[in-house]
Amino acid sequence: MSAPLRLGTRGSALARAQSTHVADALRARTGRPVELVEIATTGDRTDRPVSELGVGVWVSALREALLAKEIDFAVHSYKDLPSAPADGLVVAAVPPRQDPRDALVARDGLPLSALPPGARIGTGAVRRIAQLHALGHQLDVRPIRGNVDTRLRKVADGELDGVVLARAGLARLGRAGEITESLDPMLMLPAPAQGALAVECRDGAVTDDDAALSELLRGLDDLDTRLCVAAERALLATLEAGCSMPIAALAVLAEDEDGSLELYLRGAVISPDGAQAIRLSRSATLPATDPEPAAADIGRDLAADLREAGADDLLAPPRGGAGADDVAGRAR
């Protein structure tokens, strides 16, 4: 029997659920045994706010383990990956995406529109905080950290009236039934690549074994998800921003009558206090041959549109030195 493939994963329940899903799919497809190897990341070892941690805090240790050949491949939440490629590594597969929407879990089963002014809503993302403020509901929005269980417990214990987090994570943990409301992207546009996973390995340029594994993992790839993520992340990279900035994007694909694929991309840049937002969209038909570069071009073009409309001004730090957490922590 072949030696087990070593899959690197963070230790949280959600990370292990995501990695187990990929491991099961790979076993079913190839018959190869897979074992999970837990890797602690910088983000797991600190309680500092997400916006202070910088890009890559959830993935750097996994990438170091890959390059050191301590593991054979890793599974990431795609939205956590830095937008720049990593030398020596490749995203070999992007499995089918879960529902990318954000979700509200609130006391008494209340939807967002029924929460009273002053309701205490917790979330960990500056993007979500900004968009909650932008709704004008006079919510008391509070930055929080912790795993899914910790966040949901804050609602159950009465510390918060609700929390907003990715619907995909709740679904992967089997807790979608606790969702009060799946938030319409017209109100709460998701983070680029939200709901998608990235299966990363060494790029195969050095050894035949790495090349063979990359090819094996490629069987888990879902083209539609890869194309949508390519557009969303190209927008993010062109704006030179990471997951700690209030930037949102969501791409969808539709098949035309002639069988060609049309990609429609929405993007938004929001000021941290929610007072200003730029929301634009672009669409284009993708070529049948090598469509991924064309999808990325749509993202870059939309980012240019956002910049022309003033996105850089919204992304600049506020005058006087206030950081994103200072602004986001205040209710409007």
Catalytic residue among 44, 47, 80, 258: 80
pLDDT in tens, the chain (332 residues): 478 999 999 999 999 999 999 999 999 999 999 999 999 865 554 455 555 445 556 688 999 999 999 999 999 999 989 888 889 999 999 999 999 999 999 999 999 999 999 999 999 899 999 999 999 999 999 999 888 999 999 999 999 999 999 999 999 999 999 999 999 999 999 999 999 999 999 997 667 788 899 999 999 999 999 999 999 999 999 997 555 679 999 999 998 878 889 999 999 999 989 999 999 999 999 999 999 999 999 999 999 999 999 998 888 765 544 443 333 333 32
CATH code of 5-95+197-221, in short, is 3.40.190.10
Nearest residue to 196 (alpha-carbon basis) of 267, 120, 98, 128: 98
Cβ neighbours of residue 198 under 8 Å, at least 6 residues apart?
A: 75, 76, 77, 78, 81, 91, 94
Distance CA 175, CA 55 (A): 28
pLDDT tens for 9-24 read 999 999 999 999 999 9
Nearest residue to 298 (alpha-carbon basis) of 226, 254, 233: 233
Which of 3.10.20.30, 3.40.50.720, 3.40.50.300, 3.30.160.40 would CATH assign to domain 227-315?
3.30.160.40
Residue 183 has a pLDDT of 97
CATH code of 102-189, in short, is 3.40.190.10
Using alpha carbons, list the distances in angstroms from residue 209 to 63, 198, 304, 310: 18, 20, 41, 48
pLDDT tens for 268-291 read 999 989 999 999 999 999 999 999
What is the domain partition of the chain in residue ranges?
5-95+197-221, 102-189, 227-315
Residue 332 has a pLDDT of 28
Residue 42 has a pLDDT of 56
This prediction has a pTM of: 0.88
Residue 322 has a pLDDT of 41
Active site residue 312: no
Tell me, yes or no, if the two domains 5-95+197-221 and 102-189 fold the same way.
yes
Cβ neighbours of residue 44 under 8 Å, at least 6 residues apart?
A: 10, 11, 12, 58
Cβ neighbours of residue 311 under 8 Å, at least 6 residues apart?
A: 239, 269, 278, 303
